[in-house]
């Protein structure tokens, strides 16, 4: 990890490039997310947000630059990386024909958790799904399924949590519950990197934000002191200049 990264940074992205053939998707991206911090990554479709999230998750390799989690380069972390991060993507990646509890029991086995019952109960209660734990996931609403996906992602208590548009398709009540959950998770000394198209939610949910345009970070700031109108203006100007 670069010596310029803060010692507390659990996610450190340094001058990352990603090319697919002749197309360069990311062009020298750098960012830090510290323990206890929530960062929102904003940008239009095609800006490179999901590509960056995939590389932080170890699902793709950068063409150039370095990504480190807790000081360990992602490319060198190997199989153990899955224990360090939790990922929630566009799809919940759950088994519809299993109950909520059975889904978490299955993933607990994948994480080699020896006595997972207490932890499963704790995370289901954290996402307010203990009561319907025996219901099949196919009967869950979109909001319930997304909350179960977050329970899956934090089941093994990872220090890094990646949320790629976790609010997509949620109603207002489910989005508000997700906001409260993200606040609790961020306060638990995790580093959370999330993407969203909703600027108001980015302001409410995150401590800091970065705007990605055409594969480059063009703006980074703390959310303190920003309001919706100001962020809208900054976002429009950034994308207009792309």
Write down the pTM of the prediction: 0.90
What average pLDDT is seen over the chain? 90
Q: If pLDDT is split at 50, 70 and 90, which confidence band does 91 have? A: confident
Distance of CA 49 to the CA centre of its chain: 11
Own/partner long-range contacts of 51-54 (Cβ < 8 Å, ≥24 apart): 51/18, 51/25, 51/26, 52/13, 52/16, 52/18, 52/26, 52/212, 53/87, 53/89, 53/162, 53/164, 53/193, 53/195
Instruction: Identify the pLDDT of residue 5.
Output: 44
Q: Using CA atoms, how far apart are residues 132 and 140, in angstroms rounded to an integer?
A: 9
What average pLDDT does range 117-124 have in this prediction? 96
Per-residue pLDDT tens for 71-85? 888 877 666 777 889
Instruction: Identify the pLDDT of residue 4.
Output: 40
| Surface-to-core class of residue 112, CB atoms within 10 Å of its CB (0-12 exposed, 13-18 middle, 19+ buried) | exposed
Instruction: Identify the pLDDT of residue 78.
Output: 67
Q: Using CA atoms, how far apart are residues 204 and 201, in angstroms rounded to an integer?
A: 5
Per-residue pLDDT tens for 24-71? 999 999 999 999 999 999 999 989 999 999 999 988 999 999 999 988
Q: Using CA atoms, how far apart are residues 76 and 127, in angstroms rounded to an integer?
A: 33
Per-residue pLDDT tens for 147-175? 999 999 999 999 999 999 988 878 888 88
CA torsion 37→42→46→52, rounded to 10°? Answer: -10
Instruction: Identify the pLDDT of residue 90.
Output: 78
DSSP H or E segment with residue 154: helix 142-154
Instruction: Identify the pLDDT of residue 204.
Output: 93
What average pLDDT does range 102-114 have in this prediction? 94
Per-residue pLDDT tens for 121-140? 999 998 899 999 999 999 99
Instruction: Identify the pLDDT of residue 183.
Output: 85
Percent of all residues in the chain with a pLDDT value above 70, rounded to a whole number: 95
Strand partners, 64: 17
Task: Say which residue, 237 or 1, is predicted with more confidence.
Answer: 237
What average pLDDT does range 105-131 have in this prediction? 94
Domains observed in the chain: 9-97+159-240 (3.40.50.300)
Interior angle at CA 81, CA 186 and CA 21, nearest 5: 105
């Amino acid at each position: 990890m670069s010596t310029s990264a803060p010692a507390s940074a659990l996610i450190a992205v340094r001058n990352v490039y990603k090319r697919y053939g002749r197309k360069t998707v990311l062009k020298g991206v750098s960012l830090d997310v510290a323990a206890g911090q929530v960062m929102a990554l904003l940008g239009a479709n095609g800006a490179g947000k999901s590509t960056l999230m995939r590389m932080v998750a170890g699902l793709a390799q950068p063409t150039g630059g370095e990504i480190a989690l807790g000081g360990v380069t992602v490319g060198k972390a190997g199989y153990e990386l899955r224990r360090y991060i939790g990922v929630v993507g566009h799809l919940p990646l759950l088994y519809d024909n299993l109950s909520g509890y059975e889904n978490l029991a299955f993933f607990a086995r994948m994480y080699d958790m020896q006595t997972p019952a207490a932890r499963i109960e704790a995370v289901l209660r954290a996402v307010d799904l203990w009561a319907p734990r025996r219901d099949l996931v196919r009967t869950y609403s979109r909001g319930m399924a997304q909350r179960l996906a977050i329970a899956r992602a934090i089941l093994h208590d990872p220090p890094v949590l990646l949320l790629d548009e976790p609010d997509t398709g949620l109603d207002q009540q489910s989005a508000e519950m997700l906001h409260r959950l993200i606040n609790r998770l961020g306060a638990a000394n995790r580093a959370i990197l999330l993407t969203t198209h909703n600027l108001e939610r980015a302001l409410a949910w995150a401590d800091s934000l970065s705007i990605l345009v055409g594969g480059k970070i063009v703006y980074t700031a703390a959310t303190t002191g920003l309001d919706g109108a100001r962020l809208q203006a900054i976002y429009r100007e950034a994308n207009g200049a792309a």
